[in-house]
Each structure stands twice: as C-alpha cells, then as structure tokens.
Structure 1
Amino acid sequence: MLLNYLNIAVRNLLKSKLHTAINVLGLSLGIASVFLITLYIRHELSYDRFHAGAENLYRIAWVNNNPQTRTPHPMAQALVSDFPEVESAVSLTPLWAAGLTRATHAFRNPQRAERYDERNILAVDTTFFDVFDFPLVRGDAKTALKSINGLLISESMAKKYFGDEDPMGKQLMVDSDTYMVEVVGVFKDVPENAHFHFDFLVSYLREKSLDEDNEYYSWADFGHFNYLKLRPGTDAKALEARLMAWSKKYIDWSEESLRYYATNNLGFKLQPVTDIHLHSRLRWELEPNGNIEYVYILAIAALLTLVIACVNFMNLSTARSAERAKEIGVRKTLGAYKGQLSVQFLAESVVLALIAIAVSVLFIEVSLPFFNHTTGLSFQLQYGKHLIVLVALGTGIGIVAGVYPALYLSGIRPSLVLKGRQAQSPAGAGMRKTLVVFQFSISMVLISSAVIIFNQLEFLRNKNLGFGKEEAIVIPLKNENNTGDFQTLQTELLKINGVSAVSGTTNIPGMQFNQNSISAVDRPEDDIDVSEAYVDYDFLQALDIKLAQGRFFLRENPSDKSGAFVLNETAARQLYPEGSPLGRELVWDRDGHVSRGTIIGIVQDFHFQSLHEPIRPLLLSLGRKNFNFVVIRTSLQDLDAKLAAVEKAYRQYEPMFAFEFSFLEDHLNRQYASEIRTGNIMAAFSVIAIFIACIGLFGMSMLTFQHRVKEVSVRKVLGATALNLLVLLLGNFTRLIVIAVVVATPFAWWTMDRWLDNFSYQVSISPLVFLIAGLALVVISWITLSYFTVRASKLNPAETLKNE
C-alpha cells in the first residue's frame, strides 16, 4: 500500500514539472539556509563544553563599578585549601609586555635557521590539566608543568619547529638565543570552540623564579585569570556569597568597602565557563567573545527562512486545488476515503521534501566555502551524521507542510466538483492570502533588519573618533627590552618621504588598556579608575589628537619625564568636577607603585576603545622605552616604497624579529568582527528569504493566471487595455504586500532597537528604512509577476473563448 502511494506521488510530481521544480527550489534553499545557520549556532553554543565536568567549571571575576576578569594570583590555590567543595583550581595569564599587550617571543630550533615570532603563550599553575581538558599527546600531565625550564607546545607548533621528529626532550632557543627551553609535553591543538587559545604553556614556577618578590604574584595585584572546578553537586551561588567575607583573610578590606560591595551586590563572582563566550562582557577578556543576542537573531532568521519555504509549499499545493479537483472527485466517487486521500497527498509532500533535501545538499556543498570565509570557521558536511539529520528534517517538513494541503484537498466534495461548481473555496483563497502576507512580512523583517545592521556598521566605520584613523600605520615592537635606540628608529622613519609624524606608545586605540586609579592630592578618598598609556612627545601628531587645554609633553621640559601627566576630558571632569585641573597635582597608584605629578594638559575626548563602550577616563604619561607600538602618520602614495623603507629602518632596530605592520583603520574595524559577521550572514539570508518568497509568488501568479485566462479574455473582448489588465493582475498581490509591510514594520523596529542597545553610540532608526524596504519588496514582486502580466496582455481572446 505504501509503495503504491509513493508510486502515485512520484507520477503526480512528474506530471507537473514546473510546479514541482518551483517547490523543490524553494524548499531546498530554505533547508540549506537553515542547515548552515544551525551549524553556526551549534558552534556558538558549544563553547567550552568539551571539558570533562564542564558544568562544574567557573571563572572568578571581580565585579566592581568597572567589572573585570582578573583577580589575584594566590586566590585559586587558597580556595582549594579553604573550601572542600573546590576540587581543583588554576591561575593563568598570558605573558604581558608593558601596557597589557601580549608579549612577543622569538623561538628557534637550534638545528635550523628559521626564527618565528609567537604571542599565544600562557603561564599556568601546575594544576592546569586538573581543571581543563586539553589532552596531552606526549608527556605527563601530572609532572610536565613542574619543570622550571620546561615548555609545552601544541601539535601544530611541534610540526612547525620539528617536522616529523619527536619533539620530546628537544630544545628551543628563545629571543636572542640567550637561553633555551626544553619541550616536556605536546598537547592537541586547542579547539575552535574554546574561549581562550594558546600554542605554548610555561609554568608559573619559571616566571616566579625570575622575580620571586614581584608583587604581581601577591594578593595586592588583580592581574590573573583564576578558574575553579567544583565538586559535583556544589551550590555555586552559595559559595559565591561567601567569597567576599572569606577574602578578608587575605586582603585588607575596610568595613566600609565590604558594606558597599554587599549593598550593591559587588565583589568576587563565579562565572560558568560555558557561559563566558556568549554572556561575558567584562574588561580584559582573554579573547573577544560572541554575543547571545546575535545567536538569537540568526536563530530567528533561520526559523523564518524555513517558515517562508514551508508557506510556499502550502500555498502552491492549495492553489492547485482547481487542477486536482476532478481527480479527487473521481477518486472519491470510486470509493476512496478522505483518510486515504490525505495519506496520498502527505506522501507527495514527503517525496517532494526528500527531493528538496537532495538538492539542498548540493547547495550546502557549494555554499560552505563562502560561509566558512564569512564566519571565520571551518565547517564541513559530515555525510554520515548530517545526512540522517537532513533526511529527518525533510520528512518532518514534508509532513508538517503537507498536513493543511492534504486536509484541504481531501475535503473537496465530489458532487460539486463533477458539476464544475467547486474549484477553490473562499476559505482556501483567504488562507492563501494570509500566508502570502505572513511570508512577505518575514521578508520585510529580514530585509529591514539587514539594512539597519549595515547602517550601524557604516556608522561605526565612519564616525569621527576624535583622532585620525586614516593614513596611520602601526608597527608592533616585539623586543620588550627595546635593546635598540627608539629615538634612532624614530629619526630614520621621519627621513622617509611623506612621513609627517612618528610616535612610540604602549597602547593604540582599539586594544585593551591597562587600568589603575588616580586621585587628587587634596582628595585621596575620591579616586577614579583610569585607563593608562605611556607615550612619547609626538603622540598627538601621530594620531592627530586635539589638545583641549594646556600643553603636551615637550622635549625641552626635563621635568615632563617624571612629574607630568595629561588627561582626557572625561578624566578631568571626574577628577575635578568643580573646575580646570591644569597645574594641580594627582596621585597615580599603579598596583601599589605610587607616582605623584602635575596635570599639564587636557586632550579632547577620543574613542580609544570600541563604540560599544562610552569614553572612559584616560591618563597619558611620558615613556622612554618599552613601547609596544610605533604609529607612523604618512600619506599612502607610493605605499610599497614607503613600507620597504620602514622595514629597512625597523630591521636595524629589531633585527631578531619579523617585520609586521597594519593600518590603524583595519585594526579598529576588527573590533566589530562579530557585528560584521552577523550582518553579512543576515544580508545573505535576507536575499535568500526574499528569493524564496518570490519563487512562491511566481508559482502563485502562474496558477492565478491559469485560473483567470477566460476572465482576462472576456475583459479584452469588452475593451480592457493593457494598463487595465496590469492593474487587475498586480493589484491584489500589491495590496497583500503592502499589508505585509505594515504588519512587519513595528516588530522589525522593536527588534533592531534592542540590538542597537549593544552600542553606546548608534544610528537612529529612520522610518525611511522601512519605506525603502517596503518599496523594494513591491518592486521585486512586480518584477516577479511581470512575466504572467505580459502574457495576459498578449492573449488572443478568440483562441481562449472559441470553445465557450
């Protein structure tokens, strides 16, 4: 019986080839789109879930008025000692250069000449592998990190430095070949879905042995990343509530501070590791995180795209009722039951959906390279696992989308059909109109959302940031000891034709800045948190930053080297709300190292961090060495020649490291990689959704034209012009699309308004966006309908009506 249903289903589908092709194309595009977005969403939701006992892993965050990820180094092991519910803990940190910039170290295999610059280096406790599940392929996880001169490397790094040789026990030369480290372990490459990545691990034992008395490893320095593994069944919230009172054992909190933190629900907090990637927005994240709202947006886009494809199917199936009516009438007259007919139509629906699955696999394979490029990931179609999912999805879609057409068609009354009195019921026509409105409402939401996302990205790219991001080249200085003479490098760079300014700095806009506190000398209790950077005399010229008051650092003023500070306008307002701070003294507390100096200038506020955040207080101090970057302001004409000259000067300054450069503008745009990725995906799938809707509209207009051939012929006989026929045939569909635009606009407006709340600086949502999107939908629909409209205007009434 089932085989018979399938045979009839295939025969009916082949009988209406164009109708079948339209349905298959729409469904396959919808399924391919949903599959790709689902791959991305599953990846985003899978972060850090590969760890054994991932549900018991937590990061300790310090949540005050300026929440951050970093806490004191001794905290991890103290928690293990003092709380039996803490199974294990680890403290870790990247190796930093000045200004909270990741340090670069050069590694070389002594048997080879090639030297490589590396930044993905972590210092970790010996308990690292007790907390995290990063499997070792060589070495002993229990002992590897107890070696002071040991180094653990990833499989990729083992291949890079040693080829096919066994790296265990072999050595690598570091920096200027002044010391060597021994490879004591090899770990699998860190998965893409980890919230931090690394290629090298060194033990804190080594770092501490280099400077045992450094306060960086004390309770006074909030500069490390601490993670806990709790015993199963532990109440993390209950443990969190005890942390502040417990920490008084190690940190000299005042009672006033403890009361303030308790009243405002501040202090040490536990973040589930599996939530960090999508939910954490703290300062000094190890890597840029994702955003759960973007996942929701893409999930909704995927669902709506699939709904459009299913609506197409239902619309086209019910619209064919006139063609199938006599067939159904005859079958019922010959004794077919309604249930049998319903199963028959469901079988057709499932067969068509399975054909669409096969076509969607082709679309997926073709689209994956583009999709991987857009997301920056490396998805692959796994035929074993994914095909089972796709077949199940296709069967489900076939059943769900086929239920209404099956019930509708099987309910046709044969007595009326065989007399030619029932082709399409008013209720069925009304349902199809409702589905068309729903379909184009979804398209309206997607296209207007994509336009607003694009507008916001353009706003981010083009907003005046308060400094000159164009014509600025950034070169990282990798030797933290700066054995070269920076002034010599600066002088050589200024000799290059077209270079107008050169500055050294520890930090550049768009990256993380170190943060400490400052206070007015006469009001030490009113301290404020400031971001900080060491710069040289030409910083303002190199970045084209404007001075608001006072002056900047001057070479002819020796006192500027140790006792002068420049603030931005925000810091000046917060520190001295009552008046100008020029000439007044402040105290700068850098993790217990206190400096005192005079405020000599105020620079205009500029956006030194992303536009997700408001402008924060900033302090600039004169640096003389340990710069992390050189900023070169230059015209971009003859760029290749300029870069060659810059590289030549750089190699004299840092001969050991490879030359790298970037444009400041490109560096700033990378802050919005997540938004750009989401915008690109939304734009692509908006186009697909509109295309699917138009495929359905084309099919609907084809069937409508077939049903109204005689009506159009009669109107032509009675004198209707081509314009009259155009209005007749386009009018109904145009009204439906206008209704769809009106219905969708409030929802799209609300959704995008929520998305824009992620930014401190944002575009306003203009009604023009929805007007243009609506007009675009109308025009696209007219183009889609134009083929049958032109055919109708060219009908020969004599041919159509000759048998009437």
Structure 2
Amino acid sequence: MWKNYLKIAFRSLVKNKLHTAINVSGLALGIASVFLMTSYVIYELGYDRYYEEHENLYRISWEDTNPQTRTPHPMAQAMVNDFPEVENAVSLSPLWGAGLTRRIFSVRNLEKDLRFDETNVLAVDSTFFDVFRIPIVRGNAENALKSINGLLISESTAKKYFGKEDPIGKFLAVNADTVLLEVMAVFKDVPDQSHFHFDLLVSYVREKSFDPDNDYYTWNDFGHFNYVRLKENSDAKVLEGKLMNWAKNHMDHVPEEVFQSLITNNLGFKLQPVSDIHLRSNLRWELEANGNIEYVYIMVAAALLTLLVSCINFMNLMTAKSAERAKEIGVRKTLGVLRSQLSLQFMSESLILTLISVVFAVLIIELSLPLYNSVTGQSATLDYMEAFPVLGGLIIIIGIGAAIFPSLYLSSAKPYDILKGKYQQSTNVKSLQKGLIVFQFAISMVLISGAIVIFNQLDYIRNKNLGFNTEEVLVIPLKERSVSGRMEALKSEILKIEGVNSVSASSNLPGGQYNQHTIFAADDPENRLNSSNAFVDYDFMKTLNIELVDGRFFLPENRADIEASFVLNEMAVQQLNLSEAVGSEIRWMAFGNEIKGKVIGVMKDFHFQSLHSPVQPLFFVLYPSYNHLIISVDIDNFEDKITNIKQVYSEFDDSFDFEYAFLDDQLNQQYKAESRTGLIFGLFTGIAIAIACFGLFGMAMITFNQRTKEVSVRKVLGASIVQLTVLLIGDFTRLILIAAVVATPLAWFIMEWWLGNFIYQVGIHPAVFLFSGLILIFIAWIALSYFTFKTIRVNPTETLKNE
C-alpha cells in the first residue's frame, strides 16, 4: 500500500515540477534560516556554561545610581570566612595603566628571541582555579599563584612562545629583559563563550609586593572583580540579602545613614549569576563588551516568523494545488478508495516534499555557514547528531500539518459533485487562503519596517555629531610608559611630517572606559559628584576640536596648570551647582588624597561614551601619564604618512610593535552588536520576503490558470490589457494592503521597544511604514508579473474552442 502511495506521490511531484520547486525552495529556505538563527541564539545563551557547575558561580557587583562590576579586594575571602554557604571565592583584576586603561606588555622568550605584545593579563588570587575550575594541562597552579615570580599561561600562549617544548620551568621576560617570570603552570584556553578572557596570569602576591600598603587592596577601594562559588543548593538571593548588613562591619568609613539608604532602596552588593553576565549585564567596568538579551529575543522572533511564513506558504500551496486534483479524487472514490486512504495519500506527498526540502535546507546551511560565521563572529557548525532529531521532528510536524486541511477537506467531497463538474472550493476555503496570504505579508511588513528602523538608527549613531572631530584622526597606543615623559619631543618630531595637523596625548579615548573619582566644590562639600576623568596634554582639545564655552584650556606657559587645574564639561558644572564655574575651587578625591585646584575652563558637552548613555560629568587634568597618541592627519597619500609616523615613533619605543587605528573605527566598535544584529535581521528579512513571494508566485500560477477562460471571455468582449492587469493583480494587491495596515501598529510597537536601548534615537516616522508598504507591493507585483502577462496574452480561440 505504501509503495503505491509513494509511487503516486512521486508522479504528482514530477508532473508539477514548477509547483514542486516553489514549495521546496520556500520551505528549504525557511528551515535553513531557522537553523542558522537558532545556532546564533544557542551560541549567545551558551556563555560561561563551560565552567564546571556554572550554576553555582556568581560575580559580586555594586548597584546604586552609578552601578559597577568592581568591588573591594578583601571581600571575596571575607565571604568565605563568614558565610558557610560560600564554598570558595576569588578576587582578580587586569593590570591597569593610567586612567584604568589595560596595560600592554612586551613578553619575550629570550632563548628563541620571540617577542609578542600581550593584553590579556590578569592578577588573581591563589584560589582562582578553585572557583573557575579550568583544567590545568601542566604544572602546579596553586604553587604558581603563591609565588612572586610565578607565571601561568594558556595552551595557545605556550605553543606561541615554546612550540612543542615543555614550558614548565622556563622563563619569559616581561617589558624589560631583567624582569623574568617563571612558567609554572599551563591551563586550557578559555573558550570563546566566556565573558572575560586571559592568556597570562600572575599572582596578587607579586602585585602586592610592590606596594603592600596601597589602599587599592583594602575595603576603601572598589577596584577588583570578585567571584564566589556557592555550595550545592545554596540560595543566592538569601545570601545577597545578608551582604549589606554584613559589609557594615568591614566598611566603617561609610556613614551609617548611607548604608541604611542603600538597604531601604534594595541597592548595594548584588550577586550576578555568571551565566547571566554576557546577555543581562551592562555595568560600568565590564571586563569585555557583552551582548544583549533583547537582541536574542529579536532573533528568536525573526526565526519563528520566518519558519511560520514558510510553513503557511507550504500549506497554502498544498491546499490550492490539491483542489486541481478534484477529478482524480472523484474517480478514486468511485473505485472504492476509502477516505482514510486519500488522507494518507496527501500526507505521504506532503512528507516527501518536506523531506526533500530538509535535504536542500541542509545543503543551504552547509554552503552558507562560512558567510554566516564571518557575519556573526561565531564558529557555528552543523552537528548532525544533534540536528537529526530536530530535522526529523520538522519533517513530521510540517509534513502532516500541511496535509491535514487539504486531505480532510477534499477527501470529504462527494464523487457525484466532482465528476459532474459541480465541485468548487467553498467560500470559507478561499477566505482561509486569503487570510494566510495576508498573514504572510503582514509578517513581511513587520520585518521590512523593522529592518528600516534598525538601519536608520545605526546610520544616525554613526553620523550624529558627537561634539568632537572623529574624521581623519589616528590613534596610536602608547605601550612603553616612558614615552609619556618624552611626549613633547615626540609630538615635535611627528608635527614635522607633511600632512600632520595636530598631535596630542591622553589617558583615555572617547568611546572607551574612564576612571571615576569624587569631586566637589570647596564651598559645597556635601554635594559630592562621581565624575569621569582623564589625563590630557595641552593640545587635546585642539586635536579633537572640542569646543570651550567658558574660560580656557591648559597652557604650556602657565606653570600653575600643572599643579591642579580642572577643565569641566557642562554636565559636571550643572551637577556641582556652579553658577560661576571658572575660578571656582574644586576638591578632587584621588589616590587616597584630597587634591585642591581651580576650574580654568568649561567645555561643551560631548559624547565621550556610547549613545546608549546620556552625557555624564567629565573633567580633564593636565598630567603626563598617557595611553594614547592622537594625531589629526590629512589622509591623502596615507601610506607614506603612516610609514613616516612609524619611523619617528619607533625612535622613542622599539620594545613594542607599532599599531594604529582610526578613531571613528574604534567608536563604531561600540555598536558592533547592533550592527551585527541589523545585518542578520536584514538578511533574514530578505529571505522571509522571498519565501512569501514564492508563495504568491505559486498562488498566482494556480489562480490565474483557473481564470484563463474568464480572461479569454473578457478579451472577446473588448477588455483592454490595463483592465485585465488590474483584474488579475487587484485582488492580491488588496490583500497586501490589508496586510500592511494590520502589521503597522505591531511593527511600530516592536521598534519603539527596541529603540528604548538608546538614549539618543532617530525616532519612527510614519513614512517608514508607507515606504515599507510600497516596497511590499512592488515586490509582490514583480512576483505576479510573469503569470499576469502570460494569462493576458492567451489566445481566446484556443481557450474557448471547446466551449
């Protein structure tokens, strides 16, 4: 019996090649799109689940009006001592340069004369591997983290410096040949799906040996990243509720009323599940840029909508095509075929079509994976062992689901009506088909308008005036710290290069992270402001073309500027309540001291952080401790200029590799997640529209074929080509207009929600939806054009000769 069903099914599919191709193409694209988007979602949700018993790992964060990830260094071990539910804890930190910018280290294997620049260096407690439990490949991690000169490196780092040799007991020179660290352990590389990465680890024992009394290692300084591993079945929320009252015993420098206010408002120390950090945390001082759970929701929605469009398309075409086989069904029922057998026949055809579609979907996935991985930055592969049950489930669900309606409806028709030519699709069936077309194109409308809004917002943030010059500005990282002391000489030499307009230096760059310190007006000590700050040189504002609204910037001839003078932005002036800012005396709490100084200038607010955040208070200090060289340069004949700049710079620093980047490229990195989401969303929007158009093309093929005689009669009666065109595409156009109207409120709501991620928004104009609707109609007309003109050009004598 099944052999017969399959034979009939294959004959039907081969007979209707175009219809089969349309159905298979649409469903294959839908399934492939869902698999690719699902792999993106699974990848994003998989962060930090690599660690053993990751569900017991938490990061301690601090939440108040200015929340951050960093907390006091002693807190981790104090929690182990005081809370029985804490199994272990660790404190860690990158090694910072000026302005809390990560330092770059020149690391050398002296024996092999190999040298590389390293940035992923962390200082950690000896308990690090008890908390994160990363496998140790060689050596003894515990001994290494208790040694002043111990160094732990990743497997890839070991291979880079030592090749196939055993690195244990060998030495690496750091920054200077006289500073040698012994490799005492090798750990497995941290996977990509981690919220922070590291290649080299040194012990806090070493770091504390340089300045053991530094406030940085006390409860007074929120300067470290603390993680705890809780015991099995411990309640993190219960522990979190105890932290603030417990912390009062260790932080006696904080007034009681401050603690009570924080406790009342449910603020203070919090426990963040490590597996939530990548998608649900965007606090100050994140170790690396995180993702956004809302973008995952967008991808899930896009995946489901794309699959829904392809399934509706598949079902609609199956229903429409099956109606053409009414006579076949009538004859078979007359010969005694049971209704259940007819249903099985339809389902077998549907399952075969679905199976073929899945095969093509797998081919599409395999062919598109390299492009997909380059766009997303992931390394996805198709795991057939995992995919097989999912693909099998899709075949059964889609195959049977698409066949249920046509099989039940047609198998219930009376043979007498069918063979007498009285069988017609009911109004309800036609209404259902039209409704499904409206639904398909409503989804397409949502996706098109969403893609336009995302593109407009990304274009807006790329081109918004940030309040400083971003064009033709080079940034060179200052890796050798001694260069800061010779900055004027370096600048003088670079300015001699033709096409260099201005040169400056700073500890921090717009778009990066800034250190924050407390400042207050001398006559209003109660109003303390937590403000970002940076160390800059005399030409910083000139090089970036930052506007002053009052006072002046630092001057080389004014020696008093070096001691303690401040340039504030308008937001800092506003929040300090300074009516006459220039000349006001300011106190700066920095490095454990209270530094006095005067405001000499007020700069116009500029966006030194991403447009996700409003402009925050900022002040500049003149101090020769820099991390970045900033050069305004004419980019004509750029290769010659950069060669000359490299040559000059290398005379001041020959220990590190020379690197450079354009400032606008670095600023755009802030919106990497948005750009990637927009690109993926736009790509799959195009696929969803293509699938919908496949369906429209197939429906037009069937519908216009059924109306051939009607068109012939109208041509005989004198109907013009324009009238016939309007007649044929008018019904479909009305359906698409209805879809556009229905989808507009939903699309508006969704995109308003997405734009909520940005403080500065492009807004949504009604023209977006008008334009989206026109695009939809235009695409639909292209899909309908072939069969429209084919039907219009039919010869009435051929069509009506047998009537």
Fold in common (TM above 0.5): yes
Contact 1:725 1:792 in 2 (8 A): no
Q: CA deviation at 1:749?
A: 0.4
Contact 2:141 2:152 in 1 (8 A): no
Who is 2:777 aligned against? 778
Who is 1:633 aligned against? 632
Aligned counterparts of 1:337 and 1:212: Cα–Cα separation in 2:
90
What code does the residue aligned with 1:10 have? Answer: F
Deviating runs (4+, > 6 A) in structure 1? none
Q: Cα deviation per residue 1:374-403 (whole Å; 9 max; x = unaligned)?
A: 111111222333344323323322223332
Who is 1:244 aligned against? 244
Distance 1:400 1:139, change over 3 A: farther
Contact 1:484 1:654 in 2 (8 A): no
**Correspondence 1:98 to 2:98:** yes
Contact 2:705 2:791 in 1 (8 A): no
Who is 1:797 aligned against? 796
Q: Cα deviation per residue 1:204-248 (whole Å; 9 max; x = unaligned)?
A: 111112221111111111010001111112111111111111011
What code does the residue aligned with 1:50 have? Answer: Y
Who is 1:698 aligned against? 697
Contact 2:339 2:411 in 1 (8 A): yes
Who is 1:192 aligned against? 192
Aligned counterparts of 1:195 and 1:404: Cα–Cα separation in 2:
49
Who is 1:682 aligned against? 681
Contact 1:320 1:703 in 2 (8 A): yes
Who is 1:25 aligned against? 25
Distance 1:169 1:402, change over 3 A: farther
Aligned counterparts of 2:481 and 2:673: Cα–Cα separation in 1:
31
Contact 2:587 2:595 in 1 (8 A): yes
Q: Cα deviation per residue 1:332-375 (whole Å; 9 max; x = unaligned)?
A: 22222322222221221111111011111111112111111111
Who is 1:764 aligned against? 763
Q: CA deviation at 1:141?
A: 4.0
Aligned counterparts of 1:359 and 1:486: Cα–Cα separation in 2:
62
Q: How does 1:697-736 map to 2 (within 5 A)?
A: 697-736=696-735
Instruction: Compare 481-490 and 494-503 and name the one that shifted more.
Output: 481-490
**Correspondence 1:326 to 2:327:** yes
Contact 1:152 1:186 in 2 (8 A): yes
Who is 1:303 aligned against? 304
Q: CA deviation at 1:150?
A: 1.5
Contact 1:325 1:423 in 2 (8 A): no
Aligned counterparts of 2:583 and 2:4: Cα–Cα separation in 1:
94
**SS where residue 202 of structure 2 aligns?**
strand
Aligned counterparts of 2:554 and 2:370: Cα–Cα separation in 1:
51
**SS where residue 99 of structure 2 aligns?**
coil
Contact 2:511 2:667 in 1 (8 A): yes
Aligned counterparts of 2:723 and 2:510: Cα–Cα separation in 1:
62
**SS where residue 186 of structure 1 aligns?**
strand
Q: Cα deviation per residue 1:600-640 (whole Å; 9 max; x = unaligned)?
A: 1000000000000000000100012x200011011111111
Who is 1:657 aligned against? 656
Aligned counterparts of 2:111 and 2:387: Cα–Cα separation in 1:
46
**Correspondence 1:362 to 2:363:** yes
**SS where residue 251 of structure 2 aligns?**
coil
What code does the residue aligned with 2:390 have? Answer: V
TM-score by length of 1: 0.98
What code does the residue aligned with 1:575 have? Answer: L
Who is 1:146 aligned against? 146
**SS where residue 65 of structure 2 aligns?**
coil
**Correspondence 1:422 to 2:409:** no
Who is 2:313 aligned against? 312
Who is 1:748 aligned against? 747
Who is 1:584 aligned against? 584
Q: CA deviation at 1:484?
A: 6.0
Q: CA deviation at 1:3?
A: 4.1
Distance 1:484 1:532, change over 3 A: closer
Alignment size in residue pairs: 802
**SS where residue 320 of structure 1 aligns?**
helix
Who is 1:57 aligned against? 57
Contact 1:39 1:379 in 2 (8 A): yes
Contact 2:444 2:688 in 1 (8 A): yes
Aligned counterparts of 1:332 and 1:208: Cα–Cα separation in 2:
90
**SS where residue 173 of structure 1 aligns?**
strand
**Correspondence 1:673 to 2:672:** yes
Contact 1:126 1:145 in 2 (8 A): yes
Who is 1:108 aligned against? 108
What code does the residue aligned with 1:39 have? Answer: S
Aligned counterparts of 1:321 and 1:121: Cα–Cα separation in 2:
66
Q: CA deviation at 1:196?
A: 0.7
Aligned counterparts of 1:582 and 1:724: Cα–Cα separation in 2:
77
**Correspondence 1:273 to 2:274:** yes
Who is 1:87 aligned against? 87
Q: CA deviation at 1:591?
A: 4.8
What code does the residue aligned with 2:296 have? Answer: V
**SS where residue 630 of structure 2 aligns?**
strand
Q: How does 1:372-771 map to 2 (within 5 A)?
A: 372-482=373-483, 485-577=486-578, 579-624=579-624, 626-771=625-770
Who is 2:136 aligned against? 136
Distance 1:201 1:40, change over 3 A: same
What code does the residue aligned with 1:79 have? Answer: M
Contact 1:504 1:630 in 2 (8 A): yes
**SS where residue 500 of structure 1 aligns?**
strand
**SS where residue 424 of structure 1 aligns?**
coil
Q: Cα deviation per residue 1:693-727 (whole Å; 9 max; x = unaligned)?
A: 11111100000111111111111111111111100
Aligned counterparts of 1:484 and 1:267: Cα–Cα separation in 2:
40
Aligned counterparts of 2:412 and 2:454: Cα–Cα separation in 1:
46
Q: Cα deviation per residue 1:107-130 (whole Å; 9 max; x = unaligned)?
A: 111122231100011111111111
Q: How does 1:135-174 map to 2 (within 5 A)?
A: 135-174=135-174
Aligned counterparts of 2:737 and 2:438: Cα–Cα separation in 1:
9
Aligned counterparts of 2:424 and 2:364: Cα–Cα separation in 1:
37
Aligned counterparts of 1:380 and 1:459: Cα–Cα separation in 2:
35
Aligned counterparts of 1:399 and 1:524: Cα–Cα separation in 2:
74
Instruction: Compare 738-747 and 233-242 and name the one that shifted more.
Output: 233-242
Q: Cα deviation per residue 1:236-266 (whole Å; 9 max; x = unaligned)?
A: 1111111111011111121210121122211
Contact 1:318 1:408 in 2 (8 A): no
Contact 2:86 2:229 in 1 (8 A): yes
Distance 1:141 1:172, change over 3 A: closer
| Unpaired stretches in structure 2, ≥5 consecutive residues | none
Aligned counterparts of 2:75 and 2:398: Cα–Cα separation in 1:
53
Distance 1:483 1:448, change over 3 A: closer
Aligned counterparts of 2:148 and 2:372: Cα–Cα separation in 1:
44
Instruction: Compare 465-474 and 586-595 and name the one that shifted more.
Output: 586-595
Q: Cα deviation per residue 1:547-593 (whole Å; 9 max; x = unaligned)?
A: 1100100011101001200100000111125x121101111112522
Instruction: Compare 206-215 and 739-748 and name the one that shifted more.
Output: 206-215
Aligned counterparts of 1:496 and 1:291: Cα–Cα separation in 2:
44
What code does the residue aligned with 1:7 have? Answer: K
Aligned counterparts of 1:482 and 1:87: Cα–Cα separation in 2:
45
Q: CA deviation at 1:415?
A: 2.1
Q: Cα deviation per residue 1:65-107 (whole Å; 9 max; x = unaligned)?
A: 1000000011000000000000011111111111111100011
Aligned counterparts of 1:322 and 1:284: Cα–Cα separation in 2:
63
Aligned counterparts of 1:635 and 1:161: Cα–Cα separation in 2:
39
Distance 1:200 1:403, change over 3 A: farther
Instruction: Compare 245-254 and 599-608 and name the one that shifted more.
Output: 245-254
Who is 2:232 aligned against? 232
User: What is the RMSD of the two structures over their aligned residues, measured on CA atoms?
Assistant: 1.3
Instruction: Compare 396-405 and 125-134 and name the one that shifted more.
Output: 396-405
**SS where residue 749 of structure 1 aligns?**
helix
Instruction: Compare 223-232 and 13-22 and name the one that shifted more.
Output: 13-22
What code does the residue aligned with 1:420 have? Answer: G
Aligned counterparts of 2:385 and 2:238: Cα–Cα separation in 1:
45
Contact 2:484 2:626 in 1 (8 A): no
Contact 1:50 1:133 in 2 (8 A): no
| Unpaired stretches in structure 1, ≥5 consecutive residues | none
Contact 2:88 2:131 in 1 (8 A): yes
